């Protein structure tokens, strides 16, 4: 596994952590902050995957973002 792929895996893990934190957050502004962080980590992972030559796309990003708690899948 290349360094870029390892980084992408790390970023996906951080996105999962941020998503879990968003789900556990009581305050709306804190939840939104964690959701925004998760979206950024996902973007970084996808960027690294593209760089590593993996096939990715906007569809994958939309599916991941739609899975975030409190998100309307139609609004992504």
Dist CA 17 CA 4 (whole Å): 20
Question: pLDDT tens across 17-71, in order?
Answer: 999 999 999 999 999 999 999 999 999 988 887 766 654 455 566 667 767 766 6
CB atoms within 10 A of CB 49: 20
- Whole-Å CA distances, 2 to 7, 15, 54, 75: 9, 20, 12, 35
Domain ranges of the chain: 3-71
For residues 4-21, b (16+ Cβ closer than 10 Å) or e, as one string?
A: beebbeebbebbeebbeb
pTM for this prediction = 0.67
């Amino acid at each position: 596994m290349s360094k870029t792929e390892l980084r992408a895996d790390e970023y996906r893990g951080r996105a999962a952590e941020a998503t879990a934190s968003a789900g556990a957050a009581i305050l709306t502004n804190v939840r939104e902050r964690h959701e925004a962080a998760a979206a950024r980590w996902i973007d970084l992972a996808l960027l690294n995957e593209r760089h590593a030559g993996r096939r990715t796309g906007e569809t994958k990003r939309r599916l991941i973002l739609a899975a975030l708690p409190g998100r309307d899948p139609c609004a992504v």
